[in-house]
A and B are shown apart, each in its own frame.
Chain A
Amino acid sequence: MSTVPDNLQYSKEHEWVRADGDVVTIGITHFAQEQLGDVVFVELPEKGATVRQYASLGVVESVKAASDIYAPISGEVVERNVKVIEKPELVNSAPYGDGWMIKVRLADKGELTQLLSPSDYRSHIGETAGAGGD
């Protein structure tokens, strides 16, 4: 697993976005879960809720601390990951897989252009381009 997969887009607040038509999947990055440590609780918005770009959409709590998850884009929640609520450790073990958070129907596709590319995100977290796969 790469720590910054090439097929995703990123926010400065360490969320990732996978676009699939007008529905996007959102999670937190490998870097974010590593900083948090063992995740023990995840709070996510219900299906049908609206999330607004840059506003808090939920919370991840590790043994150490609670951290907000910020919405990288705006839209309506079409699904939330029930599995990650039941097994919060999925955020650590599979941040880009089973540890995803919510799926959102995009309100404004233009917001996607404001996200970071994988190489921009790598420099944002101080990882040199090309390095970092594990």
Chain B
Amino acid sequence: MATEAPTMRRTPLYDKHAALGAKMVPFAGYEMPIQYEGIVAEHRAVRGRAGLFDLSHMGEFFFRGRGAGKTLDRLVSSDIAGLAVGQARYGLLTNERGTIVDDVIVYRIGEAEYMVVVNAANIAKDRAHVLAHLDEDATFDDRSFGTALVAIQGPRAVDILASETDADVRSLPSFGVTQGRVAGARATIARTGYTGEDGFEVFVANADAAGAWDALLAAGGAAGIKPIGLGARDTLRLEARFSLYGNDIDETTDPIEAGLGWTCKLDKPFVGRDVIAAKKAAGTKRKIAGLVVQGGVARHGHEVTQDGDVVGQVTSGTYGPTVEKNIALAYVPTPLSKVGSALAIRIRGKDVPATVVKTPFYRRPE
């Protein structure tokens, strides 16, 4: 049987990244920019000014019809029934075992119309999962490959976006979503993000992505906007203590131990609800904890130790350019997950001291 190397997908902004000199890496089946100028400079641009991200690899599912809200309320852990038109909410897709299929944002974009943004690596899996639970009064449309997503994040994002759109983005609340034009093209604009800063996510058709990208980059020039790669996206999200699917959460983790119990509305029915409610009542054996490491950088897969014994595992770790510390998330036995708990991370065979701290590691100034 002839085999072919799997073809990498490219987003409609691939040529833009190449022209900007980005380093490209394979990510979730796409060739994506990991960095342009450098991770630290890009990270600081987002915290201090503004950054532009190509997130067109993310998946967009559309649900329509009288049963759309009901379907999503049963599929997603958070309160979707209570979502008003123009509002978005973070939540989890969970399975019957009460573990995490994906983490998503649900946007109610019309009376009977919802958009769900899912992780790129999970598009096929999530599609099968939601189709198995689809209400007969709801239609499902996977527009992941036709929809581009450009995110503009940082304290200057609102001014830059306002100059390129007819939508009233200044009065859009956090987790609000609206329709408008960006650089002349129809767009869905949401005040959401994954950086810990104020910012927006702009969804456009693939054909309009380059226009939106160029317009926002040009409009942000005076404010010091920079294109941001996946490298800084990871350091930004980890400082803000957002979970990364595939690292911190997956189908072996439940929402309670992952610190995502707050996303679970346990007084409504949803897939896996009873298992999760039982876990919450009984308490979990392990819990995710935020750690500051005293020397060396903890990485995904490193062991957590106490007095030389392995007690847990790092799920995410990096140097945090804003907090200027080596930070990590790790699953550890619940009694060891309390703030102040003295642990160690085994880095290259040495147990390096690490302390459990309050998260998020970074919170943006009011």
Please report A residues at the B interface, Cβ cutoff 8 Å: 37-38, 40-41, 43, 59, 61, 63-66
| Complex contacts, A63 vs chain B, CB 8 Å | 39-40, 231, 235, 318-319, 321
**A59 and B319 within 8 A (CB):** no
B296 & A38 in contact (Cβ 8 Å cutoff): no
Please state if B39 and A64 are interface contacts (CB–CB under 8 Å): yes
Q: How far is the CA of A8 from the CA of B296 in the complex (A)?
A: 30
Q: Are B38 and A66 in contact (CB under 8 A)?
A: no
| Contact call B326/A38, Cβ cutoff below 8 A | no
Q: Contact check, A61 vs B296: say whether CB atoms are below 8 A apart.
A: yes
Does B295 interact with chain A (Cβ within 8 Å)?
Answer: yes
Which B residues, 186 to 215, have Cβ-Cβ distances below 8 Å to chain A? Answer: none
Cβ of A41 and Cβ of B35 under 8 Å apart? no
Q: Judging by beta carbons under 8 Å apart, are B295 and A41 in contact?
A: yes
The chain B residue sitting closest to A40, CB to CB, is: B319
Report B87 CB to chain A, min CB distance, Å: 35
Q: Select which of B39, B40, B231, B297 is within 8 A of A61 by beta carbon.
A: B297
Majority SS at the chain B contact face: mixed
Within 8 Å CB of B35, what residues of A?
37
Docked complex Cα distance between A66 and B347 (Å): 10
Given A63-B235, A63-B318, A37–B297 Cβ distance below 8 Å?
no
Whole-angstrom CA separation of A66 from B319 in the bound complex: 12
Q: Which 5 A-B pairs have the closest CB atoms?
A: A40-B319, A38-B40, A63-B39, A61-B297, A63-B319
B299 on the A face (CB < 8 A):
yes
Q: Which residue of B lies closest to A85 (CB)?
A: B295
State the Cβ distance, A98 to closest chain B Cβ, in Å: 18
CB closest residue in chain B, given A89: B40
Contacts of A37 in B (CB 8 A): 35, 38-39, 231
Residue B348 lies at the interface, judged by CB distance under 8 Å to chain A: yes
Which residues does chain A contribute within 8 Å of B326, judged by CB atoms? 40-41
Q: What per-residue 1/0 map shows which CB atoms of B35-47 lie under 8 Å from chain A?
A: 1001110000000
Give Cα A17 to B39, complex, Å.
29
Kindly list chain A residues whose C-beta atoms are within 8 Å of the C-beta of B321.
38, 63
Cross-chain contact of B231 among A41, A43, A64, A66 (Cβ < 8 A): A64
The reply to whether A41 and B348 form a contact with Cβ atoms under 8 Å apart is no
A71 to chain B, nearest CB (A): 16
Closest to A59 in B: B348
- Checking B34, B231, B297, B299 against A40 with a beta-carbon cut-off of 8 angstroms, the contacting residue is B297
How far is A65 from B297 in the complex, measured between Cα atoms in Å?
9
Jot down 25 A-B pairs with beta carbons below 8 A, ordered by A.
Answer: A37-B35, A37-B38, A37-B39, A38-B39, A38-B40, A38-B319, A38-B321, A40-B297, A40-B319, A40-B326, A41-B295, A41-B297, A41-B326, A43-B296, A59-B348, A61-B296, A61-B297, A63-B231, A63-B318, A63-B319, A64-B231, A65-B299, A66-B297, A66-B299, A66-B348
Apart from A41-B319, A63-B321: 7 A-B pairs, beta carbons within 8 A: A37-B231, A38-B39, A40-B297, A40-B326, A63-B235, A64-B34, A65-B299
- With the chains together, A66 CA to B235 CA distance in Å? 16
Cβ contacts B270-305/A at 8 Å (1 or 0 each): 000000000000000000000000011101000000
Residues B38-58 near A (CB distance < 8 A): 38-40
Query: A110 CA to B296 CA in the complex, in Å?
Result: 35
Residues of A within 8 A of B348 (CB): 59, 66
